[in-house]
Amino acid sequence: MKILSFESSSASASVALTEGETLVAQSFQNCGLTHSRTLLPMAEALLANCGVPLAAVDGFAVAVGPGSFTGIRIGTATVKGLAFGLERPCVGVSTLEAMARGLEGLEGNLCCVMDARAGQVYNALFTLEGGGLLRLCPDRAIPLAELAEEVGETSQILVGDGAKMCYTEKRECCPGLRLAPAHLLYPTGYGVARAALPLFEAGRAVSAQELDARYLRAPQAERVRKQKMGGTSK
């Protein structure tokens, strides 16, 4: 099964073409350009270089959050459009699980962190053991200080666009923290594909119309509006 997978929910952007568990090709950018400028051209160039027409893709996968609200919308809208036009199934996966899947084969505790602003991170904890991945908690938005207290002195591999921030700010109180290898630090399209493949195989893919984002928190504009309304009511 050929799957075209997209990751645009973090600072970086990535597209991968896989066949089964085999990575056929992957494109990755972390250059600061907006994903609306890079994502589709990356996919088009990748397929062209592989000699694979878009119509040959059997399904689409995308990281649907948590992460950047704009990035999530861009990735989700891209996949919805492609899947709808070709009448192909699609799968939305957790960004945090996708980045964890990118480290399968390593051993140890894995702490996935994305900067959620306002002193919070998007986080999920996993254990890597025997080549497999075990989830220890659901995706969540949590204060960085609370996460540091939870992990304490346990050994943790940090991965994600909030990994360096977490390591810099909490390594003194959490001496067990260490950064993932540089080439595995950011989520990738291949990680999305790895997380999506079991869902495709289990018949849990959805239509383009059913695909939706998972933000964990309301967008900032909505939070500000609610705060203003609350203040007015008082």
Distance CA 192, CA 95 (A): 7
**pTM exceeding 0.85:** yes
**Do the beta carbons of residue 115 and residue 186 sit within 8 Å?**
no
Distance CA 40, CA 88 (A): 17
Q: From first to last of the 234 residues of the chain, give the pLDDT tens digit.
A: 999 999 999 989 999 999 999 999 999 999 877 899 999 999 999 999 999 999 999 999 999 999 999 999 999 999 999 999 999 999 999 999 999 999 998 999 999 999 998 889 999 999 998 889 999 999 999 999 999 999 999 999 999 999 999 999 999 999 999 999 999 999 999 999 999 999 999 999 999 999 999 998 765 545 445 556 665 443
Q: Which residues contact 82 (CB under 8 A, 6 or more apart)?
A: 4, 54, 57, 60, 88
Distance CA 234, CA 231 (A): 5
Q: Domains, the chain, ranges and CATH? A: 2-96+187-226 (3.30.420.40), 104-184 (3.30.420.40)
Cα first-last separation, the chain? 57
Closest by Cα among 83, 104, 86, 196 to 159: 104
Token pair, residue 200, equals 């495709």
CA angle 192, 70, 219 (to 5 degrees): 110
76: three-class secondary structure by DSSP: helix
Q: What's residue 217's pLDDT?
A: 72
Closest by Cα among 126, 10, 22 to 70: 10
Q: What's residue 213's pLDDT?
A: 95
